[in-house]
């Protein structure tokens, strides 16, 4: 997802504030960056393809020229047009009066572009965004005041957008959103607009989250939000609880490694005040008492793996549950009349998941947002919300948010389907942060990674609740190492994938407990061993799987539903160290964005 930052009231520090804000957002994935500063007579723009360092270098010879005190900045993830200087944001009109940054996709841009071209407006990029400054310019040419001109332009757009607009001679940033997040930061003598709070968090902790269809005018000492008709909208001002230092690396080489090691704290935050071991109860104070006859979990990517896990846990407690890819559910929605629909999204802004949840709501379903982001779009739109409380996550590849999602789904299952005595499960959750710390302190993942960093491919297998963690282990490895990896239900290995197994394809198998599922997985391990493939066993030591493994990654013994969370930590570490050994850009893998806000 692209990043937006805008500010007013920073005076000579405006340019520095914009660049620093973009740096705080560069974890989101991007391929070009740019800034625009608005002065009394015009708008100055500097933008470059590539990473932020290329923009900073380009700015080094321009600083004396860039003296505007109102500005916007952008990191672009290409959708329309290749990552070139011309296609980078901000975009301007031909006369340099208007500059625009945009997240999202303008679906009717081609018809607008044709209309504007016929009227004599010329285009220099391939982007959908460039129609916006020309629409504003056309309104200005027709005699409209700047704010009215921006409103008129926005009213003609179809699709998704978060917009930041500056107009020469106006000491304000105009902002509008639809289906793409935008937040205001309210400071002392300076105010901000951004796609995410980290862009301005070091300057203020007071924020206002814009709703779909809203328009904002932000000046140095004032701000106002209105609806599409121009009527003022009252907004609650929220206080961001996390500290700016939470988004630093704290001495770790990468954000991903830091966030893997933050999991014990994140899990404690997710459990705090929610479990009572003595009474064997889960108490979700912010959550109503629900007794669904069935549950649909909607998600994408890593969150989908969490949803598959959640469906297994719910089903094991007697609640029929099914996980769906959100992008499939939205286009062909199954019946939801009596289903509780849970949208699982760490950002709460995932476009596919939002569309699916909205489709479910239109069909009358009761909805829950399971997310990390307070006041995200999904949290605001759903009937109920369950926050995972993992704190900010900067690395593109989700780690602590996935673990926190699994904990939250356990709590949801215990809450909506309490059993006769849940003390064992609750005790395991209580001990989980300490057990994760034990894995972090004793893991041999770095050694395993070094041995297999040059493998041809990697396979992950697991049964029951370990299956979605096998999927996640493979996804994590391919995301950050760019190596081929696949996850399978262990029983599926012999139904085709076994043909791919060689002495250069290590197989990571999770075997915990000593029940029939564990014994069957050992049988799958023997099949792999017979074909000379290296085996890495993740185990609690309760079976003899070590006899058939080349390496063992140990986890503490725990409840069957909690063991996958510990196995997941080992897989995260293996993925990290393989990618590190290969010299990959771990925190910002190519082509990927932290939050996918376009469908």
Q: State the catalytic residues.
A: 2, 594
Residue 62 token pair: 């321009």
Distance CA 183, CA 4 (A): 10
Distance CA 542, CA 406 (A): 23
Alpha-carbon dihedral 268, 270, 276, 281, rounded to 10 degrees: -150
**432: number of Cβ within 10 Å:** 26
Handedness of CA 291, 294, 298, 301 (dihedral sign): positive
Distance CA 287, CA 313 (A): 19
**113: number of Cβ within 10 Å:** 18
Q: Which distant-in-sequence residues (6+ apart) come within 8 Å of 143 by Cβ?
A: none
Order of strands across the sheet that contains 98-106: 91-92, 98-106, 159-167, 173-178, 215-219, 222-226
> Angle at which helices 445-452 and 563-581 pack, to 10 degrees?
50
Q: Specify the residue for token string 């929605």.
A: 333
Q: Where are the beta strands (DSSP E) in 237-300?
A: 238-239, 275-276, 281-282, 294-299
Report yes or no: 488 and 497 within 8 Å, Cβ to Cβ: yes
Rg value, the chain, Cα: 25
Q: Which distant-in-sequence residues (6+ apart) come within 8 Å of 227 by Cβ?
A: 213, 214, 215, 233
Report yes or no: 85 and 47 within 8 Å, Cβ to Cβ: yes
Residue 279 token pair: 């009474």
Report yes or no: 294 and 323 within 8 Å, Cβ to Cβ: no
Distance CA 209, CA 185 (A): 9
Report yes or no: 580 and 563 within 8 Å, Cβ to Cβ: no
Distance CA 476, CA 499 (A): 23
Residue 366 three-state SS: strand
- What CA–CA distances, in Å, run from 408 to 352, 370, 415? 21, 8, 10
Report yes or no: 54 and 63 within 8 Å, Cβ to Cβ: no
Distance CA 221, CA 238 (A): 18
DSSP 31: S
Written in H, E and C, the secondary structure of 222-235 is EEEEECCCCCECCC
Distance CA 198, CA 516 (A): 48
Alpha-helical (H) ranges within 272-386 are 301-316, 326-331, 351-362, 377-381
């Amino acid at each position: 997802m692209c990043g937006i930052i805008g500010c007013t009231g920073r005076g000579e520090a405006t340019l520095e504030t914009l660049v620093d804000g973009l740096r705080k957002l560069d974890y989101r994935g991007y391929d070009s960056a740019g800034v625009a500063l608005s002065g009394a007579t015009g708008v100055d723009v500097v933008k470059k393809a590539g990473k932020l360092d290329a923009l900073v270098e380009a700015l080094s010879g321009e600083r004396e020229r860039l003296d505007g005190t109102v500005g916007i900045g952008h990191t672009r993830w290409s959708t329309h047009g290749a990552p070139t200087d011309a296609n980078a944001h901000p975009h301007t009109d031909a006369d340099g009066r208007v500059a625009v940054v945009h997240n999202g996709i303008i679906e009717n841009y081609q018809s607008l572009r044709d209309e504007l071209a016929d009227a004599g407006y010329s285009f220099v990029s391939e982007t959908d965004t460039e129609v916006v400054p020309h629409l504003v310019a056309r309104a200005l040419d027709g005699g409209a005041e700047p704010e009215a001109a921006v409103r008129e332009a926005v009213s003609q757009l179809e699709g998704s957008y978060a917009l930041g607009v500056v107009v020469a001679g106006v000491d304000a940033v105009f902002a509008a959103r639809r289906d793409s997040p935008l937040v205001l930061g309210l400071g002392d003598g300076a105010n901000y607009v951004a796609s995410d709070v980290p862009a301005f968090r070091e300057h203020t902790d007071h924020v206002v989250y814009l709703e779909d269809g809203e328009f904002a005018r932000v000046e140095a000492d004032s701000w106002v939000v209105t609806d599409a008709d121009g009527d003022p909208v009252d907004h609650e001002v929220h206080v961001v609880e996390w500290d700016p230092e939470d988004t630093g690396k704290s001495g770790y080489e990468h954000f991903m490694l830091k966030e893997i090691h933050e999991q014990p704290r994140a899990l404690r935050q997710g459990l705090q005040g929610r479990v009572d071991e003595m009474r064997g109860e889960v108490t979700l104070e912010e959550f109503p008492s629900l007794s669904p006859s069935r549950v649909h979990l909607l998600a994408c990517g890593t969150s989908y793996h969490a949803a598959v896990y959640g469906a297994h846990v719910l089903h094991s407690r007697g609640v029929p549950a099914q996980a769906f890819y959100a992008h499939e559910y939205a286009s062909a929605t199954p019946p939801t009349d009596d289903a509780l629909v849970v949208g699982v999204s760490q950002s709460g802004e995932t476009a596919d998941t939002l569309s699916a949840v909205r489709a479910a709501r239109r069909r009358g379903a009761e909805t829950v947002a399971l997310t990390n982001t307070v006041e995200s779009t999904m949290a605001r739109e759903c009937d109920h919300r369950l926050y995972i409380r993992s704190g900010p996550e900067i690395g593109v590849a989700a780690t602590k948010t996935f673990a926190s999602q699994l904990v939250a789904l356990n709590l949801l299952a215990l809450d909506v389907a309490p059993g006769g005595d849940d003390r064992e499960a609750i005790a395991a959750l209580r001990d989980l942060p300490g057990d994760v710390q034990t894995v972090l302190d004793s893991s041999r993942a770095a050694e395993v990674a070094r041995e297999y960093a040059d493998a041809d491919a990697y396979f992950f297998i697991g049964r029951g609740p370990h299956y979605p963690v096998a999927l996640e282990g493979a996804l994590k490895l391919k995301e950050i190492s760019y190596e081929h990896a696949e996850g399978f239900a262990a029983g599926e290995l012999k139904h085709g994938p076994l043909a791919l197994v060689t002495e250069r394809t290590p197989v990571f198998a999770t075997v915990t407990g000593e029940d029939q599922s564990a014994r069957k997985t050992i049988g799958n391990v023997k099949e792999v061993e017979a074909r000379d493939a290296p085996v890495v066993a993740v185990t609690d030591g309760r079976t003899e799987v070590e006899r058939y493994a080349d390496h063992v990654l140990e986890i503490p013994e725990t409840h069957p539903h909690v063991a996958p969370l510990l196995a997941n930590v080992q897989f995260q570490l293996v993925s990290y160290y393989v990618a590190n050994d290969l010299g990959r850009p771990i925190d910002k893998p190519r082509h990927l964005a932290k939050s996918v806000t376009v469908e």
